[in-house]
Structure formats: C-alpha cells, structure tokens
Amino acid sequence: MTDEWKNILVNLYLWILVLGVIGVVFSLTLEFAGYYGGYYGYYYEVSLASVFRNPDHLGYLPIFIINGFSFTMFSLISLAGLGVFKIDVSPKLLKWCFYNSIIIIVVTTTGGIVFEIILASWGMIDWWLSYGFFAGEIGGFLLMIMIYLVMKRENITLKVSKD
C-alpha cells in the first residue's frame, strides 16, 4: 500500500474516532429529547440522567445503552486501526461496524418516533428532539459512510459469505 493510501486510511480512522467520541459524549451526557409539562410550565428532559430520576423515562434506557456502547466500540476500533492497540481490524470487524452504524440509526429513529407517539397521546404540544437524537442520526450516518470508505480502501465487500 502506498503512503497516500495509508494517509487516507489514517484520516478515515481519525474521523471515525472523532465521531465516536462525540457520539458517546452527546448520547450519554446531553438530552435526547425534551418537553414542557402541562402544569406550571415544567421542563422535562429525556436523558440518561433523567432515566434514573423519572421512572416514566426508563423505557429510553436501551437507547442510551445501545448508542453509548456502539459509539464507544467505534472509538476503540478506530484506535486499533490507527495502531494504538495491537489488534488487527479484520474484514468481519469492519462489516460488523458498518451494520452497527445502521443499528444506531434504527434505534435512534425508533426512539424518536416512540417519544413523539407517547407525547402526542398525552396531548403535549410543546416537545422537541435534541442533541442525543441528532448525534445518533447524523453520527450513525457519517460513521456508516466512513466505515464504507475504509472497507472500499481495504477491498472489502458487503456480500454475505457462507463461512
């Protein structure tokens, strides 16, 4: 592999690392969504911290666990690709990353839809999706593109093999 190709791979792995770290921080520390309560204008946020304060938000815990774990794994795999860890980034691992980015998008979208349905059924009219939601959507999509580009540089296809 030429130096130019190595530089391209290093840049892609650096972008995956940056997106993974931003995804972890946004998913686990910032709000996923929010709404104003019907009484006296109370403000409620749906975040990892609110899951432990408000039992109504416990259903959102899988979103934070799945997205937090997935973004963390992307960060660790990018460090392995950069040579920080003595682990080979195998084609199977890259395929797993590609499909995992799709899982992030699906879980985040499902969480957003469920949030909207629940609040619409409660009659709430002032609610919004926030940082955690958009980190999952945009981060998952950008990670999918970055992993695809790494796979393209490594000549890995997404065909299902029988091994």
CA 159/CA 94 separation, integer angstroms: 13
158 belongs to a structural domain? no
Give domain status of residue 110, yes or no: yes
d(CA 28, CA 57): 14
30: exposed, middle or buried (Cβ count in 10 Å: 0-12, 13-18, 19+): middle
Q: Is residue 11 part of a domain?
A: yes
The verdict on residue 148 lying in a domain is yes
pLDDT in tens, 3-39: 887 888 899 999 999 999 999 999 999 999 998 876 6
Specify if 163 maps to a domain.
no
Give domain status of residue 159, yes or no.
no
pTM for this model (two decimals): 0.87
Flag whether 160 is in a domain: no
pLDDT digits (tens, 9 = 90+) for 63-108: 999 999 999 999 999 999 898 988 888 888 999 999 999 999 999 9
Q: What does residue 43 show for φ and ψ, rounded to 5 degrees?
A: -105, 130
Alpha-carbon 32 to chain mean position: 12
Q: 120: domain range?
A: 3-153
- What is the signed CA dihedral for 149, 155, 157, 162, rounded to 10 degrees? -140
| Helix or strand (DSSP H, E) at 45 | strand 43-46
CA–CA separation, 37 vs 69, rounded Å?
A: 31
Q: How many domains does the chain have?
A: 1
